Amino acid sequence: MAGTKIGKYVLESLTRSMYDDSRCIYREYVQNAADQIDIAQKEHLDKDNYYDIQINIDSDNRRIEIVDTATGVTFDKINVLRDVACSQKRRGFQKGFRGIGRLGGLGYCSSLVFETSAKGESIKTVMRWNADEMNRIVDDESDTSEAGDVIDKCVQISKEQEKIEAHYFKVILEKVSDDKLLDPEGISNYLSMVAPVDYPTGFAKFGHTIKQYMKENGLSLDTYNIFVNGDQIYKGYTTRIKNDRDGDYDIKDIKFFQQKDKDDNFIYWGWYSISELKGQIPAYNLPYGIRLRCKNIQIGDENTCRNFFVADGDKRFSQYFYGELNVVSPDLQPDGRRDYLREGSQRRAFESQVTEDFLVLKELCNEASDIRGTQKKITNAIQKKANIEKKRNAGFLNQAEQKKCEDEFKTYEQERAKAHKKLERLKQKSEERQSPLSFMYKQIEENATKVEGGSSNDPIENKAVPKLTPDEQQIAQEQSPKLRTDASRYKKFSKKEKDVINKVYDAIYMAIADENMRESLINKIEEEITR
């Protein structure tokens, strides 16, 4: 029986067609470097036991270097870098395990080079992959080479002298074809949300809370010293969210969720931000959306966790927050592209459990919406009542306007009272279930005292009561006029003249339904005739 053949086109699947986002190759190389750093730390390879990952992007020369100071690879084992899908890594314990990620760079450069040296060996081994030649052979339909033959044709190995104490692994991409890979700032931002790095000092308050939670629950997250062009990378979380439309706002708190198996082992755990939940966090913020992670490395992207909200209309709620969903169980492993988890019964159980947890996020979004809506009703009622009060002081255009305003005043007062009662009910329910949005009710109470002249029972955030003009203030001290022409500014007019003016105002009132347009016209007339 003939042996199994592996066609050359598998190389295309593992290189040019592997990832939707070319930046994923940085994640793969960082992931491999992190695994070797773990080994180096256990072996105390260096006295200080410090290891880092340096990413150097030379945009001008279209060259990328990714270097770690971990174990390196000895010359006698260098062929493991040429083998495909033959990784000896343990699933569930190491970050990489399939032995295919290192080939990702072949899809985006002319040459892919591995340079490495292991401590105690005075040799630097250089493995050069001719990506251009590999792509030419794969694209040549007349070439019947198998995958292994193509690799053998396109890979060259050489060795040089090296210091015996040196230990490193360097990945070099030459003549990089994708501009996105050559943007240092863009790559830094990408890695800050994807790579296994620590929380920044600007997030220290909540970062400490997360670390304390992990300590209390026997959890851990591996972090590594990663640099892009000399600048160290930290997680992209901030306590301030930029919002060009509604104004910037602060993160008030973070909350946790978790799930364990029957043996009290963690399946997953996570945290999410608490804010006023005004809407989806704009995408120009680095932290937006809850991110799925395994071993502190992102799986998928910022949209992956949207699918844990069942209804299509609820999926947007994932972007109302930012946070992390950390997979812990070794039964839950990333798929080959690392854009989700491998299919299986464990995954389906995981999805069902997370969906239940995310119902809390939906409830918080609905509660925040109810609070803002109720507060808006109260504020609107106060503003409308204040406008009517101003008309009372200035005088009405006619009896019809007076009756309309008095009826509306009663309606607005009823609406305000109803909204107050609803707000109290919401507050009571919030206290009963210990909602993390209690700060919103506190803000409303604090804003109640911001009305000019002292305190108020009405929760308004600004001084909504319109200011009276000097003439209106004078009239207000006297008996309120019945008609607008009773105001002091009309004192130069005789009764007959006032009657004519009133008829003009009455005609305008009847002819123009839009109150703003009507008032604008009358104010202009009033200004002209009373100057």
The answer to whether residues 176 and 268 belong to one domain is no
Q: Interior CA angle at 281 toward 204 and 428, to 5°?
A: 80
Is 306 inside a domain boundary?
yes
Backbone angles phi, psi at 227, to 5 degrees: -125, 140
Q: What is the mean pLDDT of the chain?
A: 86
Q: Indicate the DSSP class of residue 74.
A: -
Domain boundary among 461, 478, 495: 478
The answer to whether residues 265 and 160 belong to one domain is no
At position 484, the amino acid (one-letter code) is R
Is 442 inside a domain boundary?
yes
The answer to whether residues 77 and 144 belong to one domain is yes
Q: For 474-494, what is the mean pLDDT?
A: 69
Q: Which of 63, 43, 65, 46 is nearest to 54 (CA)?
A: 65
How far is it, in rounded angstroms, from Cα 151 to Cα 130? 9
pLDDT of residue 452 exceeding 60, the answer is no
Is 495 inside a domain boundary?
no
Across the beta sheet with 52-58, what order do the strands follow? 155-161, 123-130, 111-117, 168-174, 63-68, 52-58, 225-228, 231-232
pLDDT of residue 57 exceeding 70, the answer is yes
Q: How many domains does the chain have?
A: 3
Q: Which of 108, 92, 91, 90 is nearest to 29 (CA)?
A: 108
Domain boundary among 308, 342, 376: 342
Would you say 131 and 139 are in contact if contact means Cβ atoms under 8 Å apart?
Answer: no
Identify the CATH number of the domain in which residue 158 sits: 3.30.565.10
The answer to whether residues 120 and 17 belong to one domain is yes
Q: Which of 265, 261, 334, 259 is nearest to 296 (CA)?
A: 334
Is 318 inside a domain boundary?
yes
pLDDT of residue 192 exceeding 50, the answer is yes
- Helix and strand totals (H; E) in the chain: 12, 15
Is 205 inside a domain boundary?
no
Q: Which of 510, 520, 485, 513 is nearest to 500 (CA)?
A: 485
Would you say 393 and 475 are in contact if contact means Cβ atoms under 8 Å apart?
Answer: yes
The answer to whether residues 314 and 373 belong to one domain is no
The answer to whether residues 140 and 53 belong to one domain is yes
Residues 84-93: tens digit of each pLDDT:
755 554 544 4
How far is it, in rounded angstroms, from Cα 382 to Cα 458? 8
How far is it, in rounded angstroms, from Cα 527 to Cα 531? 6
The answer to whether residues 334 and 371 belong to one domain is no
pLDDT of residue 515 exceeding 50, the answer is yes
Is 332 inside a domain boundary?
yes
Residues 392-438: tens digit of each pLDDT:
777 777 778 778 888 888 888 888 888 888 888 988 888 888 999 98
Q: Which of 296, 272, 330 is nearest to 221 (CA)?
A: 296
Structure tokens, 430: 């919030």
| DSSP character string of 370-410 | HHHHHHHHHHHHHHHHHHHHHHHHH-BSSHHHHHHHHHHHH
Is 394 inside a domain boundary?
yes
Task: Give the H/E segment covering residue 139.
Answer: helix 131-139
pLDDT of residue 19 exceeding 90, the answer is no
* Between 112 and 497, the higher pLDDT residue: 112
The answer to whether residues 247 and 161 belong to one domain is no
Stated length of the chain = 531
The answer to whether residues 257 and 374 belong to one domain is no
How far is it, in rounded angstroms, from Cα 23 to Cα 180? 7
pLDDT of residue 97 exceeding 80, the answer is no
Backbone angles phi, psi at 518, to 5 degrees: -65, -45
Is 118 inside a domain boundary?
yes
Q: For 157-167, what is the mean pLDDT?
A: 94
Residues 202-221: tens digit of each pLDDT:
999 999 999 999 999 999 99
Q: What is the pTM of this model?
A: 0.80
The answer to whether residues 370 and 336 belong to one domain is no
The answer to whether residues 330 and 415 belong to one domain is no
End-to-end CA distance of the chain: 110
pLDDT bin (cut points 50, 70, 90) of residue 142 is confident
Give the bridge partners for 127, in sequence order. 114, 157
Domain encompassing residue 407: 365-478
Domain boundary among 478, 493, 515: 478
